[in-house]
Structure 1
């Protein structure tokens, strides 16, 4: 069972800092959040980040509050105000990586001193492969010199080379060979660059020269070696100091799977912060659980979202939508994932594959398998790896599920003879070289899984976008009340204080946006018509039918939204680039993206003008959508775990992929209840009422038994703990309701009167 959280946790409220929101602005919202019923403010990363950062995950200094957010004084003002309001602060921390930039003072020292730098051990750099490489240029160094984009900078004590708007520190003495007072030439620039501990190259073509561990394939982020205790102590000193001062009441650890040894890191963190609640960002596949023994409260909520969607999806309608998308999507999602993985290993993750192969060859030196066979074996295993990562580096041997990947790799057309020896390294945790290989391999599989599935195939297998989501998979099937109850029972047993989220900054679509597409499963004839119209409009614009299916769903989510055309166009462009087959981030097909956006714009207008549906159908859709929005909220706020409410989602919130879901919340609109839409009032009242109930009966919701039954017109949630109980009816959409169970209906109440419940204390 996971570590138990401290008392007082009722619900967290996730706030996105930056983009016009600083720490003092958050402090001003404390009265509102207290009235809402929140117990803990959950802040996105607040450490000094790269200039112009919109999210804070590109950390420059993990021991300094970003001055653009108000700095240390603003943080302490917020901490004191939260304490006075009887609220806690949860911080999102980023131990896995920092920004690869001369702005990073520790990296700047490494650039100047190389492996001899006192900070060299902080960063995961493979000096064996060459100097630290920056793939940042959009031309040759000589061309940039001619254009004025490169010049000497700094002074005699700290010489630098200005490249664009960054000053790259120069190695001591490297200017001595240049004639004094002579301007740089193409040849002297080449000689100067050759003397550095770092190199620069074209952002498109020099990725193979990268020598640092990246965050996924983002070359501007560099891995931090938290496996080194000295690095941990240095990068966590600010956090530990403020925990000890009582300014921090919880931590959320970003991208735990990027670390070399996640379990060891978490044990070190637990020792450093005591009983403070800790949550980890971890994505699990269906049937997978968080590794046993991690000293944390649980995961950050992705694993909760998919079962909610599965429960509320009408099976017959889902089948109708999938049939309406036939012929324009990958026929086999698993095969499509493997195809994409093979392409990524060849064209994107070459440096990572090289590093893993070198680690394996070092560990297998005694048996001397051919280097190419080792590399092939690693690639074949990675193609079939069924989870984001195993934890052999933390001495957890692979089980039957991972052994299945070995058998699948052996069934490939040309299996490598090194498959067995390479796989066996994962079962040799006492061998330091084998554990180094395991860490490198697991870091690769995590990145490869995320980029092939979440960031590629989820934009190709798009028959039903609610399943193309973090923590879900396109081929999922609906579940009934008993299946959902089973999921929640396991959650209550294993991680009773995990966060239960519905929307985050990482979700492809907000929960209320997903609910719009879930509603189509209750109106399958409308869904079929909308998909057909989208396909027809895509064909008119010489686009693959798939983008008509995608555009139809985006249009349904967005047709009532402000700035719908611009926001949808930005999203379609990002979706096409993520899918990588009609456009890409590296080589965007702007005209193709504009044609796809035009399909969405046309569909949104046709929906607004009642050309795709009748007024009666629109009314039915909006009623069903409203029911689903409230049903999701009720399921979240009554389930085992700690509800995590993403900023603005206490009202109806339609948001698409980042950066759309980071848009600044209109706080003023929340203060003007009289001007709220009726659907916003209902959701806000439901949220407040259920959070009040959780605050009144904390033990019941933290430890109580969870049961869910389906009636003719509602789902019935019941929580029981000792002499306390709570029952609530969650109204279902008025079409395609599940068949009533034979057991007696439990309790009374509805979403319209959420606290009209049967209870005893």
Structure 2
């Protein structure tokens, strides 16, 4: 199976369908893309913009297109020798009345073949009922207000609550119909024997009879009216269902199904069950076998009970050479298990490494000192993370927390006298102490690294809760398999806990701490961490060498649908690490301009204000005219920021008055003449330096070990906010125009065009040129970058800490990459080299290197040359690749 050369991530949705995709296939081919990398395209909720809320995994989303259309696209891709990498979602589906499996369960209960397909504890209630947490108020109030009703429609009896509609159980028919009517129906059509197929025939016969008999229909409608007007009758009918509607906040303390993170309407699957695995993947494997899907990206692998077992099953189905990557967030020093049968991850770790090397690590002290004054309450990031994980566990995942606690007793892992608040608190502290998303225990004794992580979690929990030393010590023994309990049960319990440490980290860190700890916002990013501040070039080389040795076919991502801000907005914010004194001076100046407004209300607070200043630095439009559209987008983003931080507002308890005051502050900023006269010149300088960092980021993505990925539209500058802002429509006509212009540049025109790219860098043609030429190089020299050795190069002292330089070597063919990291030291605000570095030597080639080279961006040739100056490398273009001539 052919591996991708470069993937292009597309968010297929009702707003971007197969028909839209077909219009850009030629463009993507000309750009040099080898593989379409698609968001989930299976049948999702109506209007879904992301596709992760699947209701039917056996067909393509009708709002995106049809299987026939996809087959036609497949034929086009085969002609173009392009592939299709498909994102699949084995962890969860939408908790929705249209979910094909839930519908069957709601009607048939234990008779449904899908009854155990979802991760549900059916045994918590006398009548097996799954909690349907979609009510706006507690059930008694909802019944009192008459907001729930039972109706008869073309699909049978349904319970309805605003937009929610759930099919009723078979018992409902006996309860609504008179005994005589019910018996006659059953007798006439053969009775119900428990099979789904027979029930559908029986129900259809009933519905046909109602349709043909006006008197019967009228009688049933009268009965339904009587039921709907009685709280008692409605409650009696609800007691016959296999779901029980509850207030959406109920799940914060009680829940009997596993959710995706804390999202009530995403219900998790029991994918560890082989039957569930086989059923769920039927259509996926059909598309694989037809050759329509040439690679798979597995979403949220950490949600599965046993990820390795899942991957082994998957690998057996698709074959050894088939391209499979997983979505996996690795902490800074964490490694992907080497024995997993995958090509690698979907690229968050690469994003973090590039983001860190393009940050000036020498400025950490300056930023820490300044931020301690801005936000002294949260100056210690590790403490903040622990606090927020505990908060999420107790306040948002209280139901899951209670279930894990009770499971320990069900498995006889706890003594009766341990049923105290102290032991339960210790369990929570231990889970919050996990320094990684999760471990993957397969058997006892655990692997050395797994034991190390559990011991680390114990130490973190003990440091924060020393009064629980005895209780924490017991849980450490339990997790290590050293308690005097059944080892099978201890392992099961540890594996079960690991399905929740991941969501705990995601919600406590990415969706809470990342919106509170604002020292340098570019590192509040998926896969990255504000706990780290910069990476030396030597450190970057070490990481890339390990990447080359371990999983060289992992995806190199710099933007995804999950990233917190656009890749070029991050680079702008990283520029601040090169000019800390000027940055904090400017920030103080702007702060003083609005001190009188904030003295009265302290809204936004100091930390939020600091966030806003960085936000504007990163996302300010190149036109320098923010306009109403930018304000509205920024306002929507800030609302999310405030609610995710959960300090002055939240999704659970929004403080709209506070939020409106923050929006008013932003509006004043954007219209304040003194602020703009100070901010705009500074921001323009940062934007220029950020553009150079962006080119370095692009080049590193294209040439470092791994498969480069382009998120939709990021051929041009990407200054978007977090989703849904990063799923806005892409102007492909403009991109087609730019690409055609770039491809038509003659050798004689090139010097003038390169100068024009720099002078007009806001239009982003410079970024597309960098991407296109690097991708062209990669396509022509595929094996150099896919299999070639990674050789770090030692630069002259003046540049050794400022430029990332390495060679990729395959079969005695060489390519040398130069990506500036500390850009303000080398370039001016016009993207030109500074006078004092022009003639300085950057590199003397090792003795065994070739001496004939060609610059892939400028087409400049070097004959018999072993030394290179800054001017020779960067005077025409800010980044460089020398390919052996």
* Class of the TM-score when normalised by the shorter of the 2 chains: over 0.9
Question: Relative to structure 1, is the Cα distance of residues 207 and 702 closer, same or farther in structure 2, using a 3 angstrom cutoff?
Answer: same
Map of 2:649 onto structure 1: 583
Aligned-partner Cα distance in 1 for 2:166–2:339:
44
Aligned-partner Cα distance in 1 for 2:155–2:528:
54
Question: Among residues 438, 452, 467, which one is paired with 1:400 in the alignment?
Answer: 452
Structure 1: give runs of 5+ residues left out of the alignment.
1-5
Question: Among residues 5, 9, 29, which one is paired with 2:4 in the alignment?
Answer: 9
Map of 1:3 onto structure 2: none
Aligned-partner Cα distance in 1 for 2:356–2:767:
21
Deviation (angstroms), 1:686: 0.9
Map of 2:132 onto structure 1: 134
Does structure 1 residue 358 correspond to structure 2 residue 406? yes
- Given that 2:305 and 2:499 are in contact with CA atoms closer than 8 Å, whether structure 1 keeps it comes out as yes
Moved more, 155-164 or 715-724: 155-164
Question: Among residues 800, 806, 809, which one is paired with 1:717 in the alignment?
Answer: 806
- Given that 1:280 and 1:296 are in contact with CA atoms closer than 8 Å, whether structure 2 keeps it comes out as yes
Question: Among residues 39, 46, 57, which one is paired with 1:51 in the alignment?
Answer: 46
Deviation (angstroms), 1:381: 0.8
Map of 2:461 onto structure 1: 409
Deviation (angstroms), 1:483: 0.8
Moved more, 446-455 or 514-523: 514-523
Question: Among residues 543, 565, 582, which one is paired with 1:487 in the alignment?
Answer: 543
Question: Among residues 654, 663, 669, which one is paired with 1:597 in the alignment?
Answer: 663
Aligned-partner Cα distance in 1 for 2:103–2:724:
29
Deviation (angstroms), 1:103: 0.9
Deviation (angstroms), 1:290: 0.9
Map of 1:381 onto structure 2: 430
Map of 2:32 onto structure 1: 37
Deviation (angstroms), 1:610: 4.3
Map of 1:20 onto structure 2: 15
Map of 1:113 onto structure 2: 108
Deviation (angstroms), 1:614: 7.0
Map of 2:817 onto structure 1: 728
Question: Relative to structure 1, is the Cα distance of residues 206 and 634 closer, same or farther in structure 2, using a 3 angstrom cutoff?
Answer: closer
Moved more, 744-753 or 467-476: 744-753
Moved more, 533-542 or 9-18: 533-542
In the TM superposition, what whole-angstrom CA distance separates every residue of 1:611-658 from its partner, at most 9, and x where no partner exists? Answer: 22474x455323211111111111111110000110111111111111
Deviation (angstroms), 1:189: 1.1
Aligned-partner Cα distance in 1 for 2:425–2:123:
21
Map of 1:286 onto structure 2: 332
Map of 2:731 onto structure 1: 666
Moved more, 55-64 or 368-377: 368-377
Does structure 1 residue 524 correspond to structure 2 residue 524? no
In the TM superposition, what whole-angstrom CA distance separates every residue of 1:50-107 from its partner, at most 9, and x where no partner exists? Answer: 1221111011011110000012122212222211111000000000000111110211
- Equivalence map 1:178-189=2 (5 Å): 181-182=222-223, 183=226, 184=228, 185-189=230-234
Question: Relative to structure 1, is the Cα distance of residues 751 and 654 closer, same or farther in structure 2, using a 3 angstrom cutoff?
Answer: farther
- Given that 1:122 and 1:231 are in contact with CA atoms closer than 8 Å, whether structure 2 keeps it comes out as yes
- Given that 2:254 and 2:398 are in contact with CA atoms closer than 8 Å, whether structure 1 keeps it comes out as no
Does structure 1 residue 307 correspond to structure 2 residue 353? yes
Question: Relative to structure 1, is the Cα distance of residues 83 and 354 closer, same or farther in structure 2, using a 3 angstrom cutoff?
Answer: same
Question: Relative to structure 1, is the Cα distance of residues 375 and 46 closer, same or farther in structure 2, using a 3 angstrom cutoff?
Answer: same
Question: Relative to structure 1, is the Cα distance of residues 552 and 152 closer, same or farther in structure 2, using a 3 angstrom cutoff?
Answer: same
Question: Among residues 238, 241, 250, which one is paired with 1:196 in the alignment?
Answer: 241
Aligned-partner Cα distance in 2 for 1:608–1:292:
56
Does structure 1 residue 705 correspond to structure 2 residue 789? yes
3-state SS of paired residue (1:688):
helix
Question: Among residues 675, 687, 690, which one is paired with 1:625 in the alignment?
Answer: 690
- Given that 1:559 and 1:607 are in contact with CA atoms closer than 8 Å, whether structure 2 keeps it comes out as no
Map of 2:215 onto structure 1: none
Moved more, 287-296 or 192-201: 192-201
Aligned-partner Cα distance in 1 for 2:467–2:429:
10
Moved more, 516-525 or 454-463: 516-525
Question: Relative to structure 1, is the Cα distance of residues 73 and 145 closer, same or farther in structure 2, using a 3 angstrom cutoff?
Answer: farther
3-state SS of paired residue (1:268):
helix
Map of 2:209 onto structure 1: none
Map of 1:61 onto structure 2: 56
Deviation (angstroms), 1:500: 0.5
Aligned-partner Cα distance in 2 for 1:569–1:71:
37
3-state SS of paired residue (2:150):
strand
- Given that 1:48 and 1:61 are in contact with CA atoms closer than 8 Å, whether structure 2 keeps it comes out as yes
Aligned-partner Cα distance in 1 for 2:452–2:138:
50
Map of 2:303 onto structure 1: 258
> How many aligned residue pairs are there?
755
In the TM superposition, what whole-angstrom CA distance separates every residue of 1:552-611 from its partner, at most 9, and x where no partner exists? Answer: 011112221672101111111101111011110112122222222333344445599742
Map of 2:440 onto structure 1: 391
* Greater gyration radius: 2
Moved more, 90-99 or 425-434: 425-434
3-state SS of paired residue (1:252):
strand
Deviation (angstroms), 1:311: 1.0
Question: Among residues 669, 681, 688, which one is paired with 2:772 in the alignment?
Answer: 688
3-state SS of paired residue (2:233):
helix
3-state SS of paired residue (2:729):
coil
Moved more, 454-463 or 698-707: 698-707
- Equivalence map 1:216-227=2 (5 Å): 216-227=261-272
Question: Among residues 168, 171, 182, which one is paired with 1:170 in the alignment?
Answer: 168
Deviation (angstroms), 1:43: 0.4
Q: TM-score, normalised by structure 1?
A: 0.93
More helix as a share of residues: 2
